[in-house]
Amino acid sequence: MFFERRPRVQWHPGRLFEGARMQISFLKDLVSPRNPASPYSILQYTKARGRLERFVNLGEFRPTCLEYSDYLEWAAGDFADQFRYDSTVTRVTPVDPLGEGEPSLFQVEVSSGSTGERTVHYARNVVHAGGGRPRYPKGVPVGAAGLLHSGEFLQRFPATFADHDSPYVFAVIGGGQSAGEVVAYVLERYENAQVHMVMSGYAPRPTDNSPFVNEHAPRGCSSDTSTGPTRTVGGSRPLNPHIASRQDVRTAARRRCHARFADTACLPCHHARPRPSPSGG
Ligand SMILES: Cc1cc2nc3c(=O)[nH]c(=O)nc-3n(C[C@H](O)[C@H](O)[C@H](O)COP(=O)(O)OP(=O)(O)OC[C@H]3O[C@@H](n4cnc5c(N)ncnc54)[C@H](O)[C@@H]3O)c2cc1C
């Protein structure tokens, strides 16, 4: 049984930027490294969606993020009877129902996000895979108007900054893929905005997809406990070509994008509790 707090399977819905691509090859999908003949590969997915030939024709190893999210939803569809959506796990407690002196089961408490109804389930084994939590530099006023984490970007940013002609001044903190996508999004849609990229180091940070790292990743993937792709196994280009190849974004960036190199990596950070919204992640 899978408990998922969102109403359906979605891969980082707050960051499903149009045109953004995954950092990994489709060969690192949910199943192929362990079983290339699995019916749940991305190739099987594109075939089922009637797009296999187009996909092959693209000559692109990395699916778009939207496509990858749809792939996960498609794969989960075959296990619908084992999924409980809109179901947030609120507590897991070891229990001893038979009075044997030691816990033999886990009691899993689940709350419905829409109705608030609470249910209790029992399991011999529990796997916690709740994903990451938003991380902020210490001292940042979490929850303040105008402060957004990229994990909830698409749900909140367009409504929060509705005036596309306004001379907004934005600071984007971070130097990874999410930060790059946010900068591209803002430069494309807010013609009068200024964007300050604040990052540690002296340039946006690429995913480490060196052969050395890739050499190590498959070992984890070959075991029976493998959970699929690892972030470290990237495509041939580390930062999103969606950003790098957009000439208009580059041109705009020269005028309205400013880099600030701060040693934010040294700032103490704290993890914010996830918001109750389904954006999560
Ligand atoms: C912009 C970006 C690009 C990335 N690109 C790649 C990439 O190319 N390749 C790669 O391998 N990785 C990439 N990653 C890393 C990515 O996070 C992982 O691939 C993967 O999504 C992590 O899977 P997960 O199951 O651990 O977490 P998630 O995908 O976050 O899934 C966790 C799930 O648990 C649910 N949940 C959380 N708490 C509860 C609860 N209490 N009760 C019920 N449900 C709960 C959430 O709603 C969510 O659906 C990227 C991440 C980001 C942000």
**Cβ 279 under 6 angstroms from ligand 1:** no
pLDDT tens for 114-134 read: 999 999 999 999 999 999 999
* pTM for the predicted model, two decimal places: 0.80
Please name which of 265, 270, 205 lies closest in space to residue 231, comparing C-alpha atoms: 205
Residues 6+ apart with CB under 8 A from 111: 87, 88, 90, 117, 118
pLDDT value at position 94?
A: 97
**Cβ 89 under 6 angstroms from ligand 1:** yes
**Domain coordinates of the chain in residue numbers?**
92-128, 135-204+239-271
Of residues 251 and 56, more confidence is placed in 56
**Cβ 231 under 6 angstroms from ligand 1:** yes
Helix axes 247-256, 177-189, angle to 10 degrees: 90
pLDDT tens for 94-121 read: 999 989 999 999 999 999 999 999 999 9
**Cβ 242 under 6 angstroms from ligand 1:** no
Determine the atom of ligand 1 nearest the C-alpha atom of 176. Answer: 1
Cα(89)–Cα(127) distance, integer angstroms:
12
Return the residue whose CA atom lies nearest to atom 41 of ligand 1: 89
Return the residue whose CA atom lies nearest to atom 16 of ligand 1: 231
Cα(246)–Cα(142) distance, integer angstroms:
32
Q: Is the pLDDT of residue 189 over 50?
A: yes
Cα(15)–Cα(234) distance, integer angstroms:
18
CA 251 / ligand 1 centre spacing (Å): 33
Determine the atom of ligand 1 nearest the C-alpha atom of 132. Answer: 30
**Cβ 27 under 6 angstroms from ligand 1:** no
Determine the atom of ligand 1 nearest the C-alpha atom of 89. Answer: 42
Fold of 135-204+239-271: FAD/NAD(P)-binding domain (3.50.50)
